[in-house]
A and B are shown apart, each in its own frame.
Chain A
């Protein structure tokens, strides 16, 4: 599905938000678990903000042993990278490794294009969001949407954001703890905790 798409934000706060995945087609499923494990090995060198396997969970809910085991059920890794230089390096390594699986990244196009060029890659296909249409009066504030749309499967709700903001204000948890708590329901691992920290701080500053 389109679960890495439709992340809302400004040019400024999307600068360091790259949702990266490596996925097989149904025709290449048999060889995919080992290749996905190799993909995980590569991305881990670059300290990903988050990573996960959709049938099990993400790095804030499960350890690597459990996640690698889950690749036998759903052989795809999803992760978040915070630095464009790391993205370029990952592209270079993946090109050299030639896993043969599809690699897809969500982020600001001009940055991704630059990373591709530096790694000797040419973007193949692009999927653009045209935004949210319809009964948009049902949506929460822009600031809250920037947080919850990082989970494209809709597992992170607005009420959890509001609840954790209150907990921070009461001094019960830190902003970092709130960001990690918000990442837990996002089963595939596309939730960017570093960006969430920054967005939560902005909301707190304005209230």
Chain B
């Protein structure tokens, strides 16, 4: 975003709304730090400015990625999905993306409200790739930035862009849970941001949740308030036989 200085009256109304504090007061002027602005659109979308001085610029590559990863109403051109990730487990009762015996992972770099350079997103992806995982290839915008999924390497021209967050989505057999979590834990100490980490489990017939139980056994803090797909979707996938219905 930019502030049209000819219109701005320096009323400072917009300043507290920026999620990353990129709207700065410098003397009599209010301006947006372009290095720190992630183009989330909050200041513009809420119509905060009484003199309509906040204006959306035309975003070119690679800066446009900031908007794709930070503004939830922006549709990713690659995935056609709004938001930073996929439908992951939200539609698992329909799609059958995650089956019993598998663990789904979501590693959201930059969340909560810290933001990240894509260079750190790459670093996390490369650490995960070393363990050997099955990336979510359809619909995950972070995967589309990888030039070599086997190593997790991303294209060089995007690495300095700052975004609110970006998600690595992938799955492995349950037996790899420990190795994956250890790799994430190690790399989390090498990046200049935070990571929100989650695991996905297709419930067993008896209602047990083996992946969460295993994570607890390994000493990880499993939250009491998960996201639950209650099984009301009409399946396109046959969980017993495998394959489409």
Contacts and interface: CB of A to CB of B under 8 A. Distances in A.
A102 interface: yes
A102 B97 CA distance: 13
A185 B45 CA distance: 8
Interface in B71-111: 72-73, 80, 82-95, 98, 104, 106, 108, 110-111
B215 A3 contact: no
Contact of A55 (B82, B224, B229): B82
Given A155-B42, A187-B72, A188-B72, A139 B194 contact: yes
A14 to B, nearest CB: 5
Contacts, number: 287
A174 B166 CA distance: 35
B228 A105 contact: yes
A100 B233 CA distance: 5
A55 B164 contact: no
Contacts of A2: 85, 88, 106, 108, 167, 196, 198, 227
Interface residues of B, number: 81
Contacts of A160: 16-17
A46 B177 CA distance: 40
B3 interface: no
B227 A158 contact: no
Contacts of B70: 154
Nearest to A91: B230
Interface residues on A, range: 35 or more
A155 B72 contact: yes
B114 interface: yes
B88 A103 contact: no
Interface in A123-182: 123-136, 138-140, 145, 148-149, 152-160, 162-164
Contact of A134 (B83, B194, B225): B194
Interface in B215-235: 215, 220-234
A21 B228 CA distance: 10
B1 interface: no
A122 B228 CA distance: 10
Given A54-B73, A122-B207, A157-B113, A25 B87 contact: yes
Given A2-B88, A25-B94, A127-B89, A138 B225 contact: no
Nearest to A103: B232
Interface of B: 15-21, 40, 42, 45-46, 70, 72-73, 80, 82-95, 98, 104, 106, 108, 110-114, 139, 164-165, 167, 181, 184-185, 188-189, 191-203, 207, 209, 211-212, 215, 220-234, 236
Given A2-B106, A6-B112, A185-B46, 6 more contacts: A55-B82, A127-B228, A134-B193, A138-B114, A157-B21, A187-B73
Q: Which 7 pairs of residues, A with B, have the shortest CB-CB distance?
A: A1-B85, A124-B231, A157-B19, A163-B16, A100-B234, A102-B233, A133-B188
28 contacts: A1-B85, A5-B106, A6-B111, A6-B196, A26-B80, A26-B87, A28-B94, A98-B234, A104-B89, A104-B90, A104-B228, A109-B226, A110-B224, A121-B230, A125-B201, A126-B226, A127-B226, A128-B198, A128-B201, A129-B196, A129-B222, A129-B226, A130-B215, A133-B194, A133-B196, A133-B197, A134-B191, A154-B164
